[in-house]
């Protein structure tokens, strides 16, 4: 039987995490096919490692997981080289990048199949079909090319997450020692585990890549199941903190409360992502229990304080500026730190309006900080994703914005900056607007350094706060070179880029 080589391209320079996407795919074929993982985060020369496996002639199927941004930097040239050097292999890509940009991926000529969304059933079904020369044309979630035509099969219903096979932690540990490579030191603890407890999200925000991938569906593991997995990793490798990487961990108050009750005696700190309007409906007792159970910070997509922009972003209709501020205040009494992310630079009818929106949100963020100074702020610039059919995406296309035409273009510096949501190439954003956002971000990060950068000690924090103070208080953000210098000197970490 042919073997399977799974690759997780490098996604961050430090604080590596259990590669959950590729681990789910390994679990899906475990016991059926022999597999290995090459983790680009843990290898000096991942291509050399892959080539060594491929030279044995035993590996025919190659699976790459790719999210946009830095992962494309290894994925694209490596896939091309593998196809040239090992033409008999079959290249299968999955994850957010190929799901949302499948045409350009398949047209590259070096990717044979794309899995559209979850691969837990589609991947083993495809491999079994290929291995036994059976037809694959009806496999759900599969996208492939015949001649010049690209065929996109129907999507499968989301799988009940408790029925999925367990992640093969023991086998991963043999390839990359879990406590050495994957349980990093963070603000939460000395051995932080990344865990993914639910798939998708029930909402349809018009700027979010989760929407075309999961189509407003959400399925979660039960509280018992999560607890069992976490306990296993705690007992075997000593994890003492958890980052929940779910798009929306707190969808169900019942599941959150049940999990909190179970995990409370374990004395582990944890973090997860949520919606403000959902959690604002949680009872006071639930919020108190969540904190007692070890949750310290919750990441919320605040996006904007401007109700018209929230409408444009289709934030589910129930979130508004007043609520965002009130909720930051509410969390204070539970000692829960809100981490609010904002998306600035969405399109508007005139350049003046775009600038007005940006300025509105800058002063809104300052109001949030004044109400609850512990609120962590993450600033993104709107980088379109193909949420086809949404009004926002229609506006984007009408503005003349275009995604790259060739797969290789994604690895150019300007598209990398687009992916990092720091400098998109959207026609309505002028350099002046971008400067405004980035300079404000620098001053804000100076005046309020993130708690998640654990290397920044109290003295450094006080110093940078002092340096940035006058600018912050007088709204003077231009040319903040002295703050940038300190950031560079002390290697300031931005959690949204390098891991939370
Ligand atoms: C962990 C994570 C990171 C970590 C990576 C940690 C590490 N050390 O590797 C960090 C923090 C570094 C990171 C960074 C970024 N990330 Co990120 N990240 C995630 C996150 C939270 C979890 C990924 C995960 O483990 N999923 C768990 C698995 C089970 O789910 P899955 O990936 O969907 O996998 C299923 C399918 O996609 C498919 N599949 C996946 N891979 C494969 C492979 C094969 C072969 C097959 C067949 C199928 C398959 O099957 C899987 C099982 O069903 C996701 C959001 C999310 N919840 O998924 C965002 C997410 C993928 N990231 C995203 C982005 C944009 C980024 C950034 C590029 C930009 C940014 N500023 O956020 C940066 C890049 C910076 C960098 N240095 O890489 C976006 C992608 C959006 C998009 N436009 O497509 C997401 C969706 C977050 C979001 N909601 O916006 N990220
Ligand atoms: S709530 Fe968050 S994850 Fe869900 S669609 Fe909106 S932005 Fe995406």
User: What is the secondary structure of 334-388 as a DSSP string?
Assistant: TTPEEEEEEEE----SSHHHHHHHHHHHHHHHHHHHHH-TT-EEEEEE------T
Segment 206-246, tens digit of pLDDT: 999 999 999 999 999 999 999 999 999 999 999 999 999 99
For residue 376, the cross-strand partners are: 339
324 alpha carbon – ligand 2 mean position (Å) = 16
Overall pTM > 0.75: yes
Helix (H) or strand (E) holding 150: strand 149-152
Among protein residues, the one whose CA lies closest to atom 51 of ligand 1: 118
DSSP lists the bridge partners of residue 94 as 65
In this predicted structure, what is the pLDDT of residue 500? 57
Using an 8 Å Cβ cutoff, are 217 and 200 in contact? Answer: yes
Give CA–CA dist 341/23, Å, rounded: 28
27 CB under 6 A from ligand 1?
no
DSSP assignment letter at 409: G
Q: Please say whether the beta carbons of 114 and 107 come within 8 A.
A: no
Question: CA 193 to CA 246: how far, in whole Å?
Answer: 13
Q: Whose CA is nearest to atom 13 of ligand 1?
A: 499
* Cα 26 from Cα 119, distance rounded (Å): 10
Sketch out the chain's domains with CATH numbers: 3-152 (3.40.50.2300), 183-211+220-398 (3.20.20.70), 442-500 (no CATH)
- Check residue 498 and give its pLDDT: 57
Query: Which residues of the chain fall short of a pLDDT of 50?
Result: none
DSSP labels, 89-145: -EEEEESHHHHHTHHHHHHTSS--EEE-S--TTHHHHHHHHHHTT---TT-TTEEEE
347 CB within 6 A, ligand 1: no
- The pLDDT of residue 317: 66
Q: In this predicted model, what pLDDT tens digit does every residue of 118-170 receive, in sequence order?
A: 999 999 999 999 999 999 999 999 999 999 999 999 999 999 999 999 999 99
Question: Is the CB of residue 112 below 6 angstroms from any atom belonging to ligand 1?
Answer: no
Atom 6 of ligand 2, residue of closest alpha carbon: 205
Contact 37, 369 (CB under 8 A): no
- The C-alpha atoms of residue 451 and residue 459 are separated, in whole angstroms, by 14
Q: Strand 295-303 relative to strand 269-274: parallel, antiparallel, unpaired?
A: parallel
Judged by its nearest atom, the ligand closest to the C-alpha of residue 221 is 1
List, for residues 1-48, the tens digit of each pLDDT value: 899 999 999 998 877 899 999 999 999 999 999 999 999 999 999 999
């Amino acid at each position: 039987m042919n073997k399977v080589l799974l690759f997780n391209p490098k996604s961050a320079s430090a604080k590596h995490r259990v590669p959950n996407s590729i681990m789910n795919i390994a679990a899906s074929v475990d016991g059926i096919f022999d597999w290995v993982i090459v983790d680009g985060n843990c290898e000096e020369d991942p291509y050399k490692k892959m080539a060594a496996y491929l030279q044995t002639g035993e590996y025919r199927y190659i699976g790459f997981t790719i999210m946009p941004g830095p992962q494309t930097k290894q994925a694209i040239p490596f896939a091309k080289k593998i196809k040239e050097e090992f033409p008999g292999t079959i290249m299968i890509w999955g994850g957010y990048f190929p799901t949302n940009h499948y045409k350009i991926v398949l047209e590259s000529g070096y990717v044979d199949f794309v899995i559209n969304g979850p691969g837990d059933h589609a991947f083993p079904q495809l491999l079994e079909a290929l291995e036994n020369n059976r037809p694959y044309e009806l496999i759900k979630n599969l996208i492939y090319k015949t001649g010049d035509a690209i065929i996109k099969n129907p999507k499968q219903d989301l799988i009940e997450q408790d029925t999925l096979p367990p992640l093969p932690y023991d086998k991963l540990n043999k390839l990359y020692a879990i406590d050495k490579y994957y349980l990093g030191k963070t603000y939460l603890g000395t051995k932080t585990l990344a865990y993914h407890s639910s798939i998708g999200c029930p909402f349809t925000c018009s700027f979010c890549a989760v929407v075309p991938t999961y189509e407003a569906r959400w399925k979660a593991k039960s509280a018992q199941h999560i607890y069992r997995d976490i306990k296993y990793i705690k007992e075997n490798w000593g994890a003492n903190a958890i980052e929940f990487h779910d798009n929306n961990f707190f969808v169900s108050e019942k599941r959150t409360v049940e999990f909190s009750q179970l995990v409370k005696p374990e004395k582990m700190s944890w973090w997860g992502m949520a919606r403000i309007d959902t959690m604002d409906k949680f009872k006071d007792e639930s919020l108190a229990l969540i904190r007692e159970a070890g949750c310290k910070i919750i990441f919320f997509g605040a996006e904007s304080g401007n109700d018209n922009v929230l409408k444009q972003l289709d934030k589910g209709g129930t979130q508004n500026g007043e609520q965002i501020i009130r909720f930051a205040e509410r969390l204070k009494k539970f000692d829960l730190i809100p981490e609010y992310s904002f998306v600035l630079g969405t399109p508007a009818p005139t350049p003046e309006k775009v600038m007005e929106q940006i300025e509105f949100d800058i002063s809104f963020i300052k109001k949030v900080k004044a109400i609850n100074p512990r609120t962590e702020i993450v600033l993104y610039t709107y980088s379109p994703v193909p949420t086809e059919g949404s009004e926002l995406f229609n506006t984007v296309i009408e503005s003349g914005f275009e995604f790259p035409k060739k797969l290789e273009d994604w690895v150019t510096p300007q598209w990398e900056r687009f992916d990092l949501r720091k400098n998109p190439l959207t026609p309505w954003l002028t350099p002046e607007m971008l400067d405004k956002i980035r300079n404000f971000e620098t001053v804000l990060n100076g005046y309020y350094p993130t708690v998640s950068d654990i290397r920044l000690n109290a003295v450094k924090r006080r110093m940078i706060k002092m340096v940035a103070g006058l600018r912050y208080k007088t709204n003077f953000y231009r040319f903040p070179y002295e703050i940038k210098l300190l950031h560079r000197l002390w290697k300031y970490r931005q959690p949204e880029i390098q891991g939370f």
